């Protein structure tokens, strides 16, 4: 496993966390992603690759993010290593830069490097993994990637995200939630503007007949809001205690092509989801499998809609989650792709 680090302190921390791992770890120095610093990143990756003495065509380098993919491919070509390159592209980085970066100079530098990256990767005809069908369409239309070399692997949930009936009872008793109380959960691991955290929570807080389990960092002071920010390992217990989950995203290209891991985690714990039309993948899954309700605006979410959504069978939601987002199934898709790449080499 190649891991980029910015300091020795970071290297030490990662080494401690992975001390029991059976995977060999190779560190490389990570630099800020700007055009003028690209050569430093490429040389750093080249140095790390060189230490491995790779000389077999039966080698796949699987990379996360297109920028790092560009650095690795430049280093591989420089070393003339006969390997297969697979790049995970997790979202629309271009529009994320344009929409969310405020400094014009930094924005221009980021876009310049990204444009250069995609030009190089398209020319190299590399294999790409995208998190959604919409992202695949976007990559083809914006950058002219070869669609035959793009596969879909949505964000998977970890195995410990499972519905737990005992923990549901325990958490609800701990939080003084009555058996018939309707609990709506909202969880956000980041403060990203695309999460719409404040707007969602403030709207839900107006519906006094429900309880809101707020598992985000944005605290809302209301008598029907329970504010907690819990460790990831405890998250499935709190999701099990809830009845419905909410995902409302801004309607822009960044969200349209996304595969939010929160959605995968919600449905893994059997939660029917109320979502807007911001994320195409979520809309498609909900409509196809009837595991939630899609609304056109946040104002559409009222007590009647919440009660209707809560009647969706929890076991059905879990089955859909396992079929589409379990780490086992996603890993099998990657394994099949690895075999295809190696067969092509031979």
In a domain, 2, yes or no: no
Q: Tell me which H or E stretch contains 286.
A: helix 280-289
Quick one: which of 246, 313, 265, 232 has its CA closest to 162?
Answer: 265
Please indicate, yes or no, whether residues 70 and 209 belong to a single structural domain of this protein. Answer: no
In a domain, 22, yes or no: no
- Span 183-227, pLDDT tens digits: 999 876 554 554 566 777 788 888 888 999 988 777 878 888 888
Whole-prediction pTM: 0.91
- Span 280-292, pLDDT tens digits: 999 999 999 999 9
Give DSSP secondary structure letters for 109-125: HHHHHHHHHHHHHHHHT
Q: Which residues contact 228 (CB under 8 A, 6 or more apart)?
A: 213, 214, 215, 238
Please indicate, yes or no, whether residues 184 and 289 belong to a single structural domain of this protein. Answer: yes
In a domain, 16, yes or no: no
In a domain, 18, yes or no: no
Please indicate, yes or no, whether residues 248 and 339 belong to a single structural domain of this protein. Answer: no
pLDDT band, residue 230 (cuts 50/70/90): confident
The whole domain housing 270 covers: 165-325
Distance between CA 90 and CA 64 in Å, rounded?
8
Please indicate, yes or no, whether residues 123 and 263 belong to a single structural domain of this protein. Answer: no
- Span 91-109, pLDDT tens digits: 999 999 999 999 999 999 9
Query: Are 263 and 273 a contacting pair, CB within 8 Å?
Result: yes
Please indicate, yes or no, whether residues 313 and 253 belong to a single structural domain of this protein. Answer: yes
Distance between CA 81 and CA 162 in Å, rounded?
42
- Span 48-64, pLDDT tens digits: 998 887 877 788 999 99
List the CATH number of the domain containing 312.
Answer: 3.40.50.2000
Query: Are 157 and 179 a contacting pair, CB within 8 Å?
Result: no
Q: Looking at the 3D structure of the chain, how many domains does it have? A: 2
Three-state DSSP state, 325: helix
Distance between CA 193 and CA 268 in Å, rounded?
25
Given this model, what pLDDT does residue 30 score? Answer: 92
- Give the CA distances from residue 207 to residues 27, 200, 227, 243, in Å, rounded to whole numbers and listed in that order: 50, 12, 16, 15
Please indicate, yes or no, whether residues 77 and 225 belong to a single structural domain of this protein. Answer: no
Query: Are 184 and 210 a contacting pair, CB within 8 Å?
Result: yes
Query: Are 292 and 274 a contacting pair, CB within 8 Å?
Result: yes
Query: Are 117 and 67 a contacting pair, CB within 8 Å?
Result: yes
Please indicate, yes or no, whether residues 181 and 281 belong to a single structural domain of this protein. Answer: yes
In a domain, 262, yes or no: yes
In a domain, 23, yes or no: no
């Amino acid at each position: 496993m190649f891991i980029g680090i910015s300091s020795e302190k970071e290297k030490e921390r990662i080494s401690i966390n992975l001390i029991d791992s059976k995977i060999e770890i190779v560190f490389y120095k990570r630099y800020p992603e700007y055009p003028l610093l690209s050569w430093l990143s490429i040389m750093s990756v080249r140095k790390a690759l060189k230490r491995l003495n790779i000389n077999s065509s039966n080698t796949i380098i699987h990379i996360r993010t297109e920028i790092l993919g560009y650095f690795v491919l430049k280093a591989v070509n420089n070393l003339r290593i006969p390997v297969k390159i697979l790049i995970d592209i997790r979202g629309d980085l271009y529009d994320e830069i344009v929409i969310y970066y405020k400094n014009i100079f930094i924005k221009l530098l980021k876009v310049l490097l990204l444009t250069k990256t995609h030009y190089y990767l398209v020319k190299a005809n590399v294999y790409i993994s995208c998190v959604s069908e919409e992202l695949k369409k976007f990559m083809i239309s914006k950058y002219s990637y070869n669609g035959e070399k793009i596969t879909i692997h949505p964000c998977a949930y970890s195995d410990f995200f499972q519905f737990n009936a005992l923990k549901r009872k325990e958490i609800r008793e701990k939080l003084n939630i009555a058996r018939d109380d309707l609990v709506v959960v909202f969880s956000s691991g980041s403060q990203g503007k695309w999460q719409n955290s404040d707007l969602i929570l403030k709207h839900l807080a107006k519906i006094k007949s429900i309880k809101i389990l707020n598992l985000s960092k944005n605290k809302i002071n209301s008598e029907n809001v329970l504010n907690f920010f819990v460790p990831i390992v405890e998250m499935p217990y709190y999701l099990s205690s809830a009845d419905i989950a909410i995902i409302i995203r801004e309607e822009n290209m960044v969200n349209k092509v996304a595969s939010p891991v929160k959605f995968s985690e919600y449905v893994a714990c059997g939660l029917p989801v109320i979502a807007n039309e911001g994320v195409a993948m979520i809309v498609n899954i909900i409509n196809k499998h009837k595991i939630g309700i899609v609304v056109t605006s946040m104002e559409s979410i009222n007590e009647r809609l919440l009660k209707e959504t809560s009647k969706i069978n929890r076991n059905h939601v879990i089955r859909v989650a396992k079929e589409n987002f379990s780490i086992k199934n996603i890993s099998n898709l990657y394994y099949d792709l690895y075999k295809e790449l190696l067969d092509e080499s031979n």
